[in-house]
Amino acid sequence: MCGITGWVAFGRDLTAEQRTVDAMTDTLAPRGPDARGVWLDTHAALGHRRLAVIDLEHGTQPMHTPETGPGGDRPRAVISYGGEIYNFRELREELVLLGHRFTTRSDTEVALRAYLQWGTDFARRLNGMYSIAIWDTAREELLLVRDRLGVKPLFYHLTADGLLFGSEPKAVLANPLADASAGAEELCDALLFLRTPGRVPFRGMRELKPGHLLRAGRDGITEERYWALEARPHTDDLPTTVATVRELLDDIVPRQMAADVPLVSLLSGGLDSSTVTALAARARAADGDRLSTFSVDFTGHTENFRADAIRPTPDGPYALEVARHIGSDHHAIVLDRTRLLDPAVRRTVLGAWDLPFNFADLDVSLYLLFAAVRQHATVALSGEGADEVFGGYLWFSDPGARKAETFPWLKLGAHRGLDPRSLFHPWFIDGIDLAEYEADLYRTALAEVPVLDGGDTENAAERRTRELGYLTLTRWLPILLDKKDRMGMASGLEGRVPFCDHRLVEYVFNVPWEMKTFNGQEKALLREAASGLLPQSVLRRKKAAYPSIQDPAYDRSLITGLAAAAGDGDAPLSPFLDGDAVRRMTARTATGSLSEFERILVESTVRMDDWLRTYDVELTDVKGTH
């Protein structure tokens, strides 16, 4: 998985900047606990922290070519790379036939040789999750590449004579040329629970968009897209579609199990993780081994479970049933309120994010789960992406959400208590033009949605479903992938997401909605493709969200933090929070627990205040002061 960072500067000699480059690199130590490396040239510096997964002995980075560049005193190209390329063996065979020689078994060397062979077109040949930085000494040019779905993060900050980059914002901020400041626009995404492609809540910083590459040379910076979702007619009938999905999954899951270190699977007992786990168990059994699986639970959760709209059933019993069915060695990681509220753990979670985004206790419990899994393994398979690809969310079918002239999850959230405006003074919300910001983002996103070419047309309902699918894949999924990456990397655990394989995404994106839900149940297509793998109870189980703690004492602790943010005159958000709204929310905990959406609202507000304080963010250009 690893962490990468670097600096390109055409107006200074970076060989004299060892200390700064070391500081940038060392911020990423949790992402790469096994090794570190730095490579310095006159106008380029690359740093790397390694989590060793493939070719443990020889895959160290930054890695450079044995061939030299101009003058013969420098390598032709140098790479710092994080992630996994799942088709590296096929690419290696092709490159060998083209005359390339290899000295390692690593996918890093394959990426480097692929660049030498195909230039920037090599990105289109990769199947995987990756953030790649290559310094080409002959061209004196830096190339940054990010995977198609944005599974792996990559941030950059332009400078007067080049740029800084890193797997996390903290690596960029470790350079004195970048500072932690934010204005009104930078806060809007966090207030709306959106991840606008490319936008980061630090002024001057950007995130390389999924499916994009960036070139930085003496002539300036250029960014281009090498992959995008396309609208294509779907001509396969239902049986063929089901078979194609299954064939893809049969290839994807074993392919993503390549590792020279222990690998496990996360198993919630839901359809998505269970499908991945069952396929992984089959692949492991074919090698004569047994798969280990892990789930998260809370003390007394199953016994005292309270059903709600997004969690109709507890995960625990279903996870155990699947584990017995596939014969895995299952481990339930049981958490309690004390661990979720541990200040040290919460500081780690905030530091892992670097950004003011969060999913309340779900972030903390996911980090604690990953930290426990890391005691047993280095790599974990996960089911993220299935709801986005196969249309598993309520907003795909809810009439109100389908008609909403905004992002559908915002409509559903507001209906259930997750209104980002509700805890802030109206003058603040109006002053940052949040409504217009939301409307503009929505219009921009809709304008990107691909349409069928030629004589093929879609009716209004089909068109709307395609829009919802695109919005979900490009504006919602990135938040979940961010969460998975940050919480996993905080403990040095690599998470792999088979449902985000671009071949599966491209195919299912164009499957008609009536085929995805052919029997009237959400994700019917995936359920049918998984038949024969899972118990009938799981194949029929209604979608249940990732588990959340149900403990009034936990909610009261959150309210204490919210009251402190609102009442402490030195708290960064204090001037902008509505005291009356905070008191009304406080009263909610006097009679019981907060709802799931209220909890996210409260915790996100507290997290934003903590973020502003911890990163010493300077709030500027906030209009409408009261």
Q: Distance between CA atoms of 62 and 108, rounded to whole angstroms?
A: 9
In Å, the largest CA–CA distance within the chain is 75
Length of the chain: 626
Nearest to 471 by CA among 562, 405, 521, 520: 405
Annotated catalytic residue 2 = yes
CA distances to 29, 139, 177, 345, 449 from 171, rounded to whole Å, are 10, 26, 12, 21, 34
CA distances to 5, 21, 206, 216, 270 from 157, rounded to whole Å, are 11, 15, 6, 12, 40
Cβ atoms 568, 574 nearer than 8 A: yes
Write the DSSP string, 113-180.
HHHHHHGGGGGGG--EEEEEEEEETTTTEEEEEE-SS--S--EEEEETTEEEEESSHHHHHTSTT---
Q: Which of 1, 2, 319, 573 is catalytic?
A: 2
SS (H, E, C) 481-522: HHHHHHHHHCCCCEEECHHHCHHHHHHHHCCCHHHHCCCCCC
Q: Tell me whether the omega of the peptide bond preceding residue 233 falls within 30 degrees of 0, making it cis.
A: no
CA distances to 168, 488, 490 from 352, rounded to whole Å, are 9, 9, 6
- Alpha carbon 154 to its chain centroid, in Å, reads 11
Cα dihedral sign for 469, 474, 476, 480? positive
Query: CB neighbours (10 Å) of residue 324?
Result: 11
Question: Tokens 């839901």 — which residue?
Answer: 270
Beta-sheet strand order (sheet of 220-225): 63-64, 77-85, 128-136, 141-146, 212-217, 220-225
Cα dihedral sign for 494, 496, 502, 503? positive
Active site residues: 2
